[in-house]
Amino acid sequence: MIKPHGSEKLKPLYVEDDLRRQNLIKESESLPALLINSAAAANAVMLGAGYFTPLNGYMNITDSLTVAEKMHTASGLFWPIPCMNLAHDIDQIKGAKRIALKDPNITGNPVIAIQTVKAIETLSDVQLDRIAEKVFGSLSTDHPGVTTFRKLGKHVISGPIEVLSYSYFARDFPETFRTATEIRESIKNKGWNRVVAFQTRNPMHRAHEELCKMAMESIHADGVLIHMLLGKLKPGDIPAEVRDAAIRKMVELYFPPDTVMVTGYGFDMLYAGPREAVLHAVFRQNAGCTHFIVGRDHAGVGSFYGPFDAQKIFSSEVPEGALEIKIFNADHTAYSRKLNRVVMMCDVPDHTPEDFVMLSGTRVRDMLAAGQALPLEFARPEVAEILMRYYQQETAAKAE
């Protein structure tokens, strides 16, 4: 099986031993506590689940700046986006050697991890902007990732952590949330050697379905990992539970048996375009996948990135040998009226825009909210029905 990133074996930071975990929870009651933000909590979950192998905790300013500038830590580990614990107020933890990190996403704010504090530093405005600009490629307040990052705080709390909880993800998505360790074990048990991963924060329409099948056929994969983000999105995006139901229905009805794993991971969307695409590749290598689909405007938002910037970064900025996972570059896919099947646009240069069945996101939402069926060439009817119920409920709720 493919090796984890930067390590001979996976390094999940979740404390599996029940007795040790209970002792740490008891210890946390006497420690100075910090209510962390959702971004830091998501980082803790990913560290706990092994997706951030081989990191052992949150980065300091030096590593964060070096990662932002050069995509590697000060020690030389390739890494595309800083893993940080940022805070506004550190008065309650000044001088502490160990602190309890409290989960902002669960009522009562239980402890999600214990951190051994190596340093507490403060970012300057220049440093904060430099990280944002390098990671997101923009400082625009219209960019949701930039806006979120700038609100996290300037105090950088670095050091290793011991993870005590997977936050709400294991509770709310018991059938879908899986750690990198669990996915690797499933791949091994299935006897799969070549596995292609598909990242999604949206429901999957016909084009996405066929893209997975094209990739599987092209690389002769044994199976595909449909790996959905379960964390926080920007306003207007479809909730994880709706996406989960829609994707599972599509797989049940339209994929051959035992060729797909539908799973999810506990992370908030960054909308960092090319840099996030590289981070997504790290996740999937750590989960045991050999190939990863990178499509048009992968992890993008609005018009902040070029349509294929997320593919170009792997050839232009990722050093050779930095990752073992291979990238499957995909163009936009759509149903061809000429050929009566879904195609990659780059494969049909004789087509005009009118030859494709294309619907904007706004048009899709409006049709579903109005109870109008989507074209069969665009969406499977069973998937569209699940989405229609959601949008109609949303429309009714807004009208009340």
Q: Which positions are catalytic?
A: 201-202
Distance CA 49, CA 55 (A): 12
Peptide bond into 160 cis (omega under 30): no
> Is 52 in a helix, a strand, or coil?
coil
Helix or strand (DSSP H, E) at 254: helix 240-254
Contact of 84 with 15, CB cutoff 8 Å: no
The one-letter code for the residue type at 149 is: F
Start-to-end C-alpha separation, the chain: 54
Contact of 151 with 88, CB cutoff 8 Å: no
Q: What CA dihedral angle connects 89, 271, 186 and 260, to 10 degrees?
A: 150
Contacts of 234 (CB under 8 A, 6+ apart): 144, 269, 271, 301
DSSP helix, strand, coil percent of the chain (3-state; round to 5): 40, 20, 45
> Is 294 in a helix, a strand, or coil?
strand
Sign of the CA dihedral running 271, 275, 278, 284: negative
What is the distance, to the nearest Å, from the Cα of residue 196 to the centroid of all Cα atoms in its chain? 16
Contacts of 318 (CB under 8 A, 6+ apart): 71, 78, 278
The one-letter code for the residue type at 257 is: P
Contacts of 338 (CB under 8 A, 6+ apart): 348, 351, 355
Q: How far is CA 44 from CA 277, 290, 373, in A?
A: 20, 25, 41
Looking from the CA of 90 toward its CB, the CA atoms found within 13 Å total: 19
Contact of 69 with 134, CB cutoff 8 Å: yes
